[in-house]
Structure 1
Amino acid sequence: MKNAALIRPAWTPATIALMVIGFIVFWPLGLAMLAYIIWGDRLDGFKKDVNATTDNVMNAARKGFRNFDGGSVYRSSGNAAFDEWRDQELARLEAERRKLDEAKAEFELHMKELRRARDRQEFDRFMEGRSPKGDSSADQA
């Protein structure tokens, strides 16, 4: 007995019917079915090529970089003096980044306090204008 799939990348009655139904329901579905009929036999090779390329890229990335657990992010250049200088520069830049982050946090806190003071002034001005000084109901409240 021949074992053949009902929906395969070929011009069979089932694939033609699915393509027509796809065009009727939503035209991109019909177009996708047409592409599957025409180029579907190349799909297995395409998947293998994509997987192989992805594996090669990931392996190269694993070899090129060390873990991010405190060690150097960059691989050794082969020159110890250069590697030492690079690590010192990266540490200096990290310290500068921390200083900038702290300054940013201080500035944001300063702006928050300014907004709070401005809001307090606006609220006080609103409350003064809301009820006149001689109003007896305001004195009771």
Structure 2
Amino acid sequence: MYSTSYTAAPERPSGWFRRTEAWLDDRGKPAWIAAMILGFVLFWPLGLAILAYMIWSKRMFNRSACQGRNARNWEEMSRRRHHMFSAMRPSGNVAFDAYKAETLRRLEEEQEAFETFLQRLREAKDKQEFDAFMDDRARAARSTPPAAPQGDAPAPGAY
């Protein structure tokens, strides 16, 4: 009567080799290069095997084969850039464009006022910390007795 649909969990590679390969792919080409260098340091045939695998699987020279997380970040950045530039273009509706310009101007003024407020807050905190430091230093100077003069005076009973 009622059907429940479950989405299949993303298929994980089986075996340690496939898991390691997927892990390195997620981190991109720098991770593969680091693994290859580490392989050469630990045992040179291992480094050579990783290099051969990178060349054979086209991870070394193919730009899109081994981007992993970097590719997703690039796509996200591209999407954000597109939205940012499309927000700055006029829409064709004069009333909306005037409202948008006024709102952006007001937001910029509020941001500037907030940044000024934060700067004053930081300066007040810095002044408070400096005053507390100077008070502690003055209190410490008052509480320690003055040191005896270190001169050529003979020690008592030296005669």
TM-score normalised per structure 2: 0.46
| Pairwise CA distance, 1:27 | 3.0
1:27 equivalent in structure 2: 46
Which one of 134, 137, 147 corresponds to residue 120 of structure 1?
134
In the superposition, relative to structure 1, how do residues 43 and 102 fare at CA in structure 2: closer, same or farther (>3 Å)? closer
1:89 equivalent in structure 2: 103
For 1:87 and 1:29, locate their aligned partners in 2 and report how far apart those are by CA, in whole Å.
60
- Name structure 2 gaps, 5 residues minimum: 1-38, 65-73, 150-159
Which one of 46, 55, 59 corresponds to residue 36 of structure 1?
55
Share of identical aligned residues, percent? 18
For 1:79 and 1:88, locate their aligned partners in 2 and report how far apart those are by CA, in whole Å.
14
| Pairwise CA distance, 1:136 | 6.7
- Which amino acid in structure 2 is aligned with residue 25 of structure 1? W
Q: How does 1:27-66 map onto structure 2 within 5 Å?
A: 27=46, 29-37=48-56, 39-40=57-58, 65=85
1:107 equivalent in structure 2: 121
Equivalences, count: 97
Higher relative contact order (CA 8 A, sep 6+): 2
- Which amino acid in structure 1 is aligned with residue 52 of structure 2? M
Contact 2:54 2:60 in 1 (8 A): no
| Pairwise CA distance, 1:28 | 5.1
For 2:138 and 2:132, locate their aligned partners in 1 and report how far apart those are by CA, in whole Å.
10
- Name structure 1 gaps, 5 residues minimum: 1-20, 49-53, 67-72
- Which amino acid in structure 2 is aligned with residue 113 of structure 1? K
Please tell me the root mean square deviation across aligned C-alpha atoms, in Å.
3.8
TM-score normalised per structure 1: 0.51
For 2:103 and 2:122, locate their aligned partners in 1 and report how far apart those are by CA, in whole Å.
28
| Pairwise CA distance, 1:24 | 4.6
| Pairwise CA distance, 1:29 | 4.7
